[in-house]
Amino acid sequence: MPFSRRRFLAGAGLAGTAVLLDPPLPALAGTPPANAPPANASASGIIRRKVGSVEVTALLDGYMDVGPDLLVGADDAQAAALAGAAFQEPGPRRIPVNAYLVDLGDRKVLVDTGTSTGMGPTLGRVPALLEAAGASPERIDTVLITHMHPDHVNGALTPEGGPLFPNADLVVTGADHAFWHDDANLARAPAGARPFFLGARAAAAAYAGRLRLIEGEGEAVGPIRAVPLPGHTPGHAGFMVLSDGEGLFIWADTVHVAAYQFAQPEWGLAFDVDPQQAARTRKRALDRAAADRVLVAGMHLPFPGFGHVAREGAAYRFVPAEWDYGS
């Protein structure tokens, strides 16, 4: 069943409300994590590649189906044509929820955490996949959060609400932290939307003493640099991994629905706090990736999310990265 706007909000008790703020912010719903396979076992949902001397592992937390009522600014006929061009049926789009483990040698860095028990039975696999990849939560040194939506930050918590990564610093942009911790924002939100704010606050509180706020474009940890991408949320950010002259631009939620938003970057999703700013940011990110020919990865790009951006007239096209077969 697709995540329609009603179903998506109902999972957090929000159906029928005039959601969150102006512009509205939808809330997210929950799932039990899969049982962990034995250490070093092969597992679907794990793909590694090198960026210079750095190893980056894509982790598939699971998937959700996005209903057409969650699209903002989309034309139904154009959407159907784009779906057909992508050899897909018109209607709901299935999108993954990805996270990325970056092994710096002396440090293990996780970019986003997945959903934990937050969004239904098709999600919540990151903890099991970390174990299968040989990087148990205790071995993670830094968790970089692109923004504090539940499908990105809820996985920082155990189902009981404690820190899943007991030895890690939690790194969040100051702008995103401030938005979700603003009592005026919380007061303006309908009662059913409180869990959306309280979830972000719970994650931050669980890492009290190990929470680090960052601002602007600069070093996040080691060779990983933060890249502000505001609009989806006020502090939405990506991270650029640089090593030995190579780069990977992990651009978070710049694109949610690849079949549509490369061709129509002005189309947004109902989760965008500022849809106009999100569209401007998306176009700048697409321009930057195409001009620099940099490898990109995204939390909702088709798994494993590694690829390139090519210009196609006034639009863009996603080109999945060539598979690295190794030597």
First to last CA, the chain: 42
The strand pairing partners of 212, in sequence order, are 171
Confidence at 9, pLDDT banded by 50, 70, 90:
very low
How large is the greatest C-alpha to C-alpha distance in the chain, in angstroms? 57
- Contact between 93 and 67 (Cβ < 8 Å): no
pLDDT tens for 83-110 read 999 999 888 899 999 999 999 999 999 9
pLDDT tens for 103-136 read 999 999 999 999 987 778 899 999 999 999 999 9
Domain 5-25+45-320 annotated CATH 3.60.15.10: yes
Q: What is the pLDDT of residue 29?
A: 37
Q: What is the pLDDT of residue 90?
A: 85
- Contact between 282 and 79 (Cβ < 8 Å): no
| Domain spans, the chain | 5-25+45-320
Q: Rounded CA gap, 46 and 39, in Å? A: 13
Q: What is the mean pLDDT of the chain?
A: 86
Cis bond before residue 23 (omega within 30° of 0): yes
pLDDT tens for 175-227 read 999 999 999 999 987 676 677 788 999 999 999 999 999 999 999 999 999 99
> CB-based burial of residue 83 (10 Å sphere; 0-12 exposed, 13-18 middle, 19+ buried)?
middle
In the predicted structure, residue 15 carries a pLDDT above the cut 50 = no
Q: Rounded CA gap, 147 and 30, in Å? A: 18
Q: What is the β-pairing status of strands 54-66 and 46-51?
A: antiparallel
The angle at the Cα of 58, spanning 54 to 60, to the nearest 5 degrees, equals: 165
Q: What is the pLDDT of residue 12?
A: 34
